[in-house]
Structure 1
Amino acid sequence: MKIRLAKPGHMIFPNAYASTNKPYRALRRLFFLLALLFCLFYQGQAQRIPLRFYLEKDSSSYAGLRLTGQVWMRYNQNNPGTLINGEPSPGFFDISVRRLRFQTYARIREKTNLTLTLGQNNINYLTARSGEIRLLDFYVDHRLHRNLTVGGGQSGWNGTSRFAAPLTSKLLTLDVSPFLIPTVNQTDNILRKLSAFLAGQAGAWDYRVVFSRPYAPVENTAPVPDSRFAGLKPGMQTAAYVKYQFFEHESLSPFHPGTYDGEKKILALGLGIEKQNRAMWHLNAASDTVTSAITLFAADIFGELPGYNDKAWTFYLGYFYYDFGPNYLRVIGFNNVGNGTNERGTFSGTGNAWPAIGTGHTGHFQLAHTWKIPGRTEKIQPFVSGQYSVYEKLQEPVRYLEGGVNLLFDGQRSKVSLAFQNRPVFDANPVGSLVQYQRRTAVVLQYQLRLE
């Protein structure tokens, strides 16, 4: 079998989003070895040339590798009452691996594709020394027609909105707003679901329909007046997303990039929905258990408009309506630094958590400007994003802000980001209503590496 480099411009099989036990050890070591060989092989060569092993002389069958990782150094102003290993901690500095992905993919006779991804999120001082690596993606798809691809397995194919399955190694902002991935690690595995899907493109249209069997919910608790995930036989989950592309067309992939670094002219208008019956339960006024559906709806627009002198504007704007049943609200802190609270604790919980996902309405935006550093190949990309949510359970809206700058050494292949995050702290007032009590911040320095 000969090993040949792909020619620039050849299409790469779509990337995947992406986190141990003994069955995975051999596979994990193989990935590390291949990643090391990859780095040595590509030393001094352009990263735009993918590593592929061609299996046929006509290049119709091949296999390839990808490696992505994000390292964080962060100072977090903790929520009131936060405990770290039993000690009060108003603030904390930590170093963590926010995401790690090892992916191999194969194409067989131009129509059949196989994707395997191992990875993990949030490897920090609280995760001990296990370094657990999860099986994230394992799915196959086949192109039945130039306008239709079908597939199945555990994958990130999803609906609702553009960033219901974000390509996290090509984000515009530092991180994903939690509400964009509303059932993350509840009935899925870091977004991935056991599902079958149909997807395709016809003219300017891009469409997908996904049928999933959700995992058993993590929070398998008894019903209370506020809606929770139900400990019942789950209903089938159905999701769909369709977008219309006005200029250049994006590749067909389960994951959507947040930016193309000003190298494409994109304007895409999208509409999505997700539904799952018997997903939630709660107690009514008569203390009877009532089951309800999850119904999620979103409309969004994404654009990247290059200008003169290698400059570009990138933007995203979306409206979201989520119905998880009465008063559902999820407090979540990605890569959380806290592991407990004392008597000063608030409704927002420990560390960097905040009420991010719930039944109600949300508006979200992202905006960035990109330009090349004069006389150099690196690019600067300042960005800002925000979330404004009106949730049933809260008496005041949720406002979350993130701003910062990306320094693109080699596009998303080598990137440094410095970001400032500002989040609300909610707690009950004297009459028991949940209102904004304070605000807290975090400053994060990230380095990202993306090899493929």
Structure 2
Amino acid sequence: MHFRRLLPVTTLAASLLLSHIAYSQQFKDGKLWLNEDGSNYFKVTLTGQFWLRNTDLNPGSTVNGFAKRNVTDIGIRRARMQAYGQIADRVFLYTQIGMNNFNYLSDRKAGFFIHDINGDYEVVRKKFFLGGGLTAWNGLSRYSSPSVGSILGLDAPLFEQNTNDVTDQFLRKLSIYAKGKLGKLDYRVTVASPMSITKSAGYVPAIGANSTFSPKPAQLQLNGYFQWQFLDRESNVTGYNTGTYLGSKRVFNIGAGFQYQDNAQWHTSASGDTVETSMRNFAVDVFYDAPVNKSKGTAISIYAAYLNTYYGPGYIRNQAVMNPADGRSTQASLVNGGGNGYPSFGTGNLLYAQAGYKFRDNLVGKTTLMPYASLQYAKYDRLNDAMLFWDAGINWLLRGHTSKLTLAYQNRPLFETRGQQADLTGHRGAFILQYQVFLN
């Protein structure tokens, strides 16, 4: 009897509580408000990038053991879900799950994995935040942590994520970070614990004359990036930097960064001794993204970077995005490997530039176009010739970054080993059509 009398009272109390929660937790501006003024909130975003591609493969490439010179394939370049928010005063939580590079050669039912999970506390209002976790608060340069949903062209300059999936998880590092704004200075500094190189894809334990990452227990890695924001201030709520604002902001930044890890690499000397070297990377960059004519909606986006990278003598690493081949039968001297690989990372000096121009609003019905081009030029000490990779295309902005179709052509160099050095021997290309959907 006592329980029966208590039940209506409990039900009424629960109803009142749920009504209060429903009132206080409004959904507004894409956010779930956790308090009346929305200063505490939670937000979810979704991103999908889908590719149709035709690739001229590197010489000797194979698919399932069969020789192939050209492949047309369909793939999912990225699928992401972000969930984050200012869940309490001074307390921020961020997480992201997703998958990358899913094509016809991928393991089936691989599933989503955790990209990020981190939190930070606002120690001094806007000036100093302290946080940690599996995080993209990286140093070195602007696109060491790119916002993939707002990329100017087909892809981010991945070589700025210089340990991508080697000693980190697709650029995310297990780290403690400090970030904030001091006037026009935006800064981030991190101390990261590098992941074991032995768990990376394609790890080879052999040591040779050319430097590779050492399998010895890793030292802590230091990263930093500092940018002076001359015009509009950019958000530093998450660790990701916007590719282009499509004319919605006036941004002009100059940045500089570094990355250092003691005894990160090893190689053998001429006498056969093991030599350990430190990874020392430095970068400076400039970013300008602004409207040209606000009333018409025209805009320009320009980014340029210089990187000085040192991974030890002779270090080279290929980049092969969503590789459409899984082996090679010949051309063992080819530095590039099979498929669409090319030597994107190395010890030496690198210049990168990209530029895009957004035409007026309503150029094609209610849509518009934004052509772009990018160029990666590097002089790596193991290559006798300059490494030149270029990419050019056009974005059809069906609804800004929310719905975007991009058609691009990429051209990559081929290098073959001649003793300890390598020479440029040709080029290969790929046509790529990407459709992006971005719920932000």
TM over 0.5: yes
Structure-2 residue corresponding to 1:358:
346
What is the percentage of aligned positions where both structures have the same residue? 33
Check if 1:367 corresponds to 2:383.
no
Q: 1:17-166 residue pairs with structure 2 within 5 A? A: 49-50=29-30, 52-146=31-125, 147-166=127-146
Contact map agreement 2:407 2:431 (CA 8 A) in 1: yes
Q: Find the aligned partners of 1:58 and 1:315 in 2 and give their Cα distance.
A: 37
Residue 204 of structure 1 and its aligned partner are, at CA, apart by: 1.0
**1:158: Cα distance to partner?**
0.3
Answer with 382-391 or 408-417: which moved more: 408-417
1:387 aligns with 2:394: no
- Which residue number in structure 2 is paired with residue 10 of structure 1? none
Structure 1 residues 374 and 58: alpha-carbon distance in aligned structure 2, compared to 1, 3 A threshold = closer
Q: Letter of the aligned partner of 2:380 in structure 1?
A: Y
CA displacement at 1:186 relative to structure 2: 0.3
Deviation, structure 1 residue 300: 0.4
List gaps (5 residues or longer) in structure 1: 7-48
Q: Does 1:343 align with 2:330?
A: yes
In structure 2, distance between residues paired with 1:128 and 1:204: 46
User: Do 1:120 and 1:132's aligned partners in 2 also have CA atoms closer than 8 Å?
Assistant: yes
| Partner AA of 1:282 in structure 2 | H
Deviations 1:231-264, CA, capped at 9 Å, x for gaps: 1110110011100111111001311111001111
Counterpart mapping for 1:138-217 below 5 A: 138-146=117-125, 147-217=127-197
2:302 is the alignment partner of 1:315: yes
State the secondary structure of the residue aligned to 1:127. Answer: coil
What are the superposed Cα offsets for residues 213-237 of structure 1, whole Å, 9 maximum, x if unpaired? 0100123613211111001110110
Which of these residues, 393, 396, 416, is aligned with residue 407 of structure 1?
A: 396
Asked if structure 1 preserves the Cα contact closer than 8 Å seen for 2:150 and 2:401, the reply is yes
Cα separation, 1, equivalents of 2:96 and 2:363: 38
Q: Which one-letter code corresponds to 2:45 in the other structure?
A: R
Q: CA offsets per residue over residues 18-75 of structure 1, 9 Å max, x none?
A: xxxxxxxxxxxxxxxxxxxxxxxxxxxxxxx31x322333433322211111000000
User: What letter corresponds to residue 262 of structure 2 in structure 1?
Assistant: N
1:5 aligns with 2:64: no
In structure 1, the partner of 2:321 is: 334
Q: 1:264 aligns with which of 249, 254, 262?
A: 249
SS at match of 2:105: helix
Asked if 1 retains the 8 angstrom alpha-carbon contact of 2:59 and 2:330, the reply is no
Task: Name the CA shift for 1:437/1:280 in 2 (closer, same or farther; >3 Å).
Answer: same
Q: CA 1:344–1:108 in 2, change beyond 3 Å: closer, same or farther?
A: closer
Kept after mapping to 2: 8 A contact 1:427/1:434? yes
Give yes or no for contact 1:373–1:380 (8 Å, CA) kept in 2: no
State the AA in 2 paired with 1:89: K
Letter in 1 for 2:65: G
**Range 252-261 or range 315-324, more displaced:** 252-261
Q: Please give the alpha-carbon distance, in whole angstroms, between the structure 2 residues aligned to 1:166 and 1:160.
A: 12
Q: Structure 1 residues 227 and 151, CA, compared in 2 at 3 Å: closer, same or farther?
A: same
Query: CA–CA distance in 1 between the matches of 2:251 and 2:365?
Result: 25
Q: Whole-Å Cα distance in 1 between the matches of residues 421 and 212 of structure 2? A: 20
Change (3 A) 1:402 1:91: same
Structure-2 residue corresponding to 1:446: 434
Q: CA–CA distance in 1 between the matches of 2:434 and 2:247?
A: 21
1:250 to 234, 243, 247: 234
**Shift in CA distance, 375/389, structure 1 to aligned 2, threshold 3 Å:** closer
Q: Is 1:237 aligned with 2:217?
A: no
Contact 2:95 2:117 in 1 (8 A): yes
TM-score, normalized by length of structure 2? Answer: 0.90
CA distance in 2, matches of 1:190, 1:444: 22
Alignment-derived partner of residue 285 in structure 1? 270
Name the CA shift for 1:59/1:389 in 2 (closer, same or farther; >3 Å): same
| Structure 1 residue 285, shift from structure 2 partner | 1.6
Give the Cα separation in 2 of the matches to 1:187 and 1:432: 26
Asked whether 1:325 is paired with 2:312, we answer yes
- Asked whether the equivalents of residues 178 and 357 of structure 1 are also in contact (C-alpha less than 8 Å), the reply is no
Q: State whether residues 120 and 129 of structure 2, in contact with CA within 8 Å, keep that contact through their aligned partners in structure 1.
A: yes
Shift of 1:392: 0.8
Query: How far, CA to CA, are the matches of 2:420 and 2:163 in structure 1?
Result: 28
Moved more, 75-84 or 99-108: 99-108
Partner Cα separation in structure 1 for residue 380 and residue 420 of structure 2: 16
Counterpart code for 1:249? R
Residues 410 and 430 of structure 2 are in contact (CA less than 8 Å); yes or no, is this contact kept in structure 1? yes
> How far does residue 132 in structure 1 lie from its aligned partner after superposition?
2.7
The residue type paired with residue 243 of structure 1 is Q
Structure 2: tracts of 5 or more residues without a match:
1-20
**Which residue in the other structure is 1:11 paired with?**
none
Corresponding residue of 1:225: 209
TM-score for the superposition, normalised by structure 1: 0.88
Partner SS, residue 409 of structure 1: strand
Cα RMSD for the two superposed structures: 1.4
| 1:307 counterpart SS class | strand
Shift in alpha-carbon separation, 1:432–1:64, aligned structure 2, 3 A: closer
* CA-to-aligned-CA distance 1:87-129 (integer Å, 9 cap, x gap): 1111000000000111211322341111111111100111131
SS in 2 for 1:163: helix
Cα shift at 1:376: 4.1
Residues 26 and 34, structure 2, Cα contact 8 Å, conserved in 1: no
Aligned equivalents of 1:417, 1:135: Cα separation in 2? 27
